Amino acid sequence: MSRVTPGLACTLKWMFLCAACSVPVACITPGQERRSALVRVSHEYNDGLRWGRYQDVTAHLAAEEAQRFLARTGDLGDDFEMADDEVASISFGDDGHRAEVTVEFTWYNQRRQLLRKTLVGQDWRFLDGRWICAAQRRLQGDRFPLVPEPLAEATAPPSAD
């Protein structure tokens, strides 16, 4: 007959207790919860862009940016059509309250029927208990109508020294 050592007995008790209570064996830290939440939220946000579910998108924007975003979508008309979105990467900042999400969008203008691709960088911030897309910018590819482009800097007139 084999003998159960005290260490093995303790391990077996923990495994049984965790299985019975449906509790994971390892503890989840607040940082891990924030990371898991961002993975879910960033997919929800970008799928909202893909499928035109703008209420899913605006829920993750600051109020002023949500209004600007809805104005941009209203200006698109019927010509803009999304084909696909893919979250390419998610990089978290050291503090766990910031993250960079990179997304590739495939889309086209229905009149021109040209498939276009755009790589977008999204800056996410964890504020007041939720993730907010604080800024977006085009990293590569064609100008994407749902992401604002920076204004061209005006040339300053020569100084009169």
pLDDT confidence bin for 154, thresholds 50/70/90: very low
Mean of pLDDT values over 98-103? 97
CA–CA gap between residue 153 and residue 44 (Å, rounded):
34
Query: Whole-prediction pTM value?
Result: 0.73
In the chain, the N- to C-terminal Cα span, in Å, equals: 99
| Strands 98-109 vs 130-141: parallel, antiparallel or unpaired | unpaired
What sign for the dihedral angle of Cα 50, 56, 59, 60? negative
Q: What is residue 113's predicted lDDT score, i.e. its pLDDT? A: 83
What pLDDT does 8 receive? 45
Per the model's pLDDT, the better-predicted residue between 28 and 55 turns out to be 55
Question: Which amino acid is present at 66?
Answer: A
Average pLDDT over residues 151-158: 55
